Amino acid sequence: MPDTHTTQPAAAERDGPSDPPSLERGTLRIIPIGGLGEIGRNMTSFEIDGKILIVDCGVLFPEEHQPGVDLILPDFGFLKERLDDILGIVLTHGHEDHIGGVPYLLKLRDDIPLIGSQLTLALVEAKLKEHRIKPYSLTVREGEQEKIGPFNLEFVAVNHSIPDALAVAISTAGGTALVTGDFKMDQLPLDGRLTDLREFARLGVRGIDVFLVDSTNADVPGFTPLERSIGPVLDEVIARAPRRVIVASFSSHVHRVQQVLDAAHAHGRRVALLGRSMVRNMGIAADLGYLTVPPGVLIDYVKAGDIPDNKIVFMSTGSQGEPMAVLSRMANNDHQIEVGEGDTVILASSLIPGNENAVYRVIDRLTKLGANVVHKGNAKVHVSGHAASGELLYCYNIVKPKNVLPIHGEYRHLFANAKLARETGVPERNTFLGENGSVYDLRDGLMRQSGQLDLGFVYVDGSTVGEITDADLKDRRILGEEGFISVIVVVDAATGRVITGPEIHARGFAEDESVFDDVKPRIIAALAEAAHNGVRDPHALSQVVRRVLGGWVNRRLRRRPMLVPLVIAA
């Protein structure tokens, strides 16, 4: 794809990563570290006069081709040598794809100030408590300004699927950037908090040099439906449900939980929250006044068994088919709640790209268990939290930015967003399509790409961070899909003659191990030939075994398993 504006050569035609030049004083450097070409890992660096401001630091959840991985972080390794230059981390809202990476960055330097709204900071502080980090926090509200070194920050209210979301205008000597964060333009929001288009217009009149815009729904025509349109549907489904109701949603979707609480209360049902993150986040939201809990509705999970089936609603995590989340465990009969005939399961969320197969597997398993599964495909039980193309057009026409850098989306979303910007009059040369690691320099309203950093995935795997590589994941896939063969051969150190073996053991094969009897003479003959040619090094002889056995297995069994040959010189 193009790495700057749309007239630049495609990625396949350009050179690889290139280090940017030294940054001149008075020039603003912008580096998207994550969130471009993906839904997640949102993180952007802003630098001027030797000082750095970070906006968001999120995670990406693994897909099926990344087995064993818990989370994927932005690659902020290039910042490790400049941690003291980071003045703060602005957090636009409390979703995991914007705050989930904060603990890992603060482990490198724990006194980097966090700047965000009340709910956002409360959610991230609870997360940091689990990592035994006590952060330095600065709570801000819409309409407020903060001066952080060479950065003047102005915060703007935006509507999203979580309360207290903020856009941020960053003014510097090099120019002004407006970052929307995640947003939409719900005209009848449940919390009464509109996206402040008047403030967007005021900033636009003053001059926005670069507009960094949420791209997630840029390819969706029209306008995102109202959040409140979901309430009546949830109410009807819960009213008709003959037995238990299980609602799966994101653990931070306060508005959706509020709608479930209200519907349950209206029909005489109690609600039990399931999943540690769901319980934690809703407790925070209720304590801060963002969630209104009707009297007597919430019940502790351990007491839910005493409630009749037609009087209980379970609110759980797992709407994306995550293997260890509550809903997936229910679908696999690996949870105390056993889903059965007559139960109703509501998936009150949209599909994050890459999770489709996992979600449909969960739906199939729940259906097989006898549940009535209600999801976005067959009922209006979720609306997106992101602006569709009609809303984005309004924003471009109001802000009238000099340059546009679409963020937060897969490549098709970024392309669609750039096209919308051009349709509203932004020149093609000023519409930038970037990748993670693209380096942009802004000065006097002129923006250009000055380099391309080589940024990759940083995998969290259990207690390890960044140690698992793509090669390790490839080995895991091979083990899971193709099987494993080990070969042990003992040779005479002096002559290279085979003394014992080869002993061949296979895992993940339907065939009996006797099938390998045909290849053993070939291995012995190949080792004898190598010995005749003077090869005595055990590693070199192991490669001979690998080559002979691998070729035979591929031809005979049509498999490409992991091979672990061991040649021992005695």
CB 277 within 8 A of CB 319: no
Residue 382: per-residue pLDDT: 82
- 568 has which bridge partners? 490
Q: What pLDDT does residue 5 have?
A: 39
Burial of 445 (0-12, 13-18, 19+ CB in 10 A): middle
Give the fold, CATH level 3, of 227-374: Rossmann fold (3.40.50)
Same fold, 227-374 and 470-569: no
Please state the pTM of the whole predicted model.
Answer: 0.81
**Is 383 annotated in some ligand binding site?**
yes
> Do the bridges between strand 151-157 and strand 145-148 make them parallel or antiparallel, or are there none, so unpaired?
antiparallel
Exposed e or buried b per residue across 530-544, where buried means at least 16 C-beta atoms within 10 angstroms of its C-beta: bbeeeeeebeebbeb
Q: What is d(CA 413, CA 411) in angstroms, rounded to the nearest whole number?
A: 5
Q: What is the pLDDT of residue 2?
A: 37
Is 97 annotated as a binding-site member? yes
pLDDT of residue 6: 39
Question: Is 95 annotated as ligand-binding?
Answer: yes
Residue 215 has a pLDDT of: 96
Beta pairing, strands 43-48 & 51-55: antiparallel
* Joined tokens for residue 43: 């993180």
Segment 425-480, tens digit of pLDDT: 999 999 999 999 999 999 999 999 999 998 988 877 666 665 666 666 665 566 55
Residue 520 burial class via C-beta count within 10 angstroms: exposed 0-12, middle 13-18, buried 19 and up: middle
- Spell out the domain ranges in the chain: 11-222+384-456, 227-374, 470-569
CATH assignment of 11-222+384-456, given 3.60.15.10, 3.30.70.3450, 3.20.20.70, 1.10.1060.10?
A: 3.60.15.10
Class level of CATH domain 470-569: alpha beta
What residues act catalytically?
A: 214, 386
Which parts of the chain have pLDDT scores under 70? 1-16, 62-70, 319-324, 351-356, 461-482, 510-512
Q: Is 408 annotated as a binding residue?
A: yes
Question: Is 68 labeled as ligand-binding?
Answer: yes
pLDDT of amino acid 115: 97
Whether 15 has a binding-site annotation, put simply, is: no
pLDDT of 477:
60
What is the distance between the alpha carbons of residues 72 and 63, in angstroms, rounded to a whole number? 10
Torsion of CA 509, 513, 517, 523, to 10 degrees: 60
Q: Does the annotation list 209 as a binding residue?
A: no
pLDDT at residue 157, rounded to an integer: 97
User: What stretch of H or E contains 549?
Assistant: helix 538-557
pLDDT at 71: 75
382 annotated to a ligand binding site: yes
In the chain, the N- to C-terminal Cα span, in Å, equals 56
pLDDT tens profile 274-331: 888 899 999 999 999 999 999 999 998 888 888 898 999 999 887 665 655 778 788 8
Burial class (CB in 10 A: 0-12, 13-18, 19+), 470: exposed
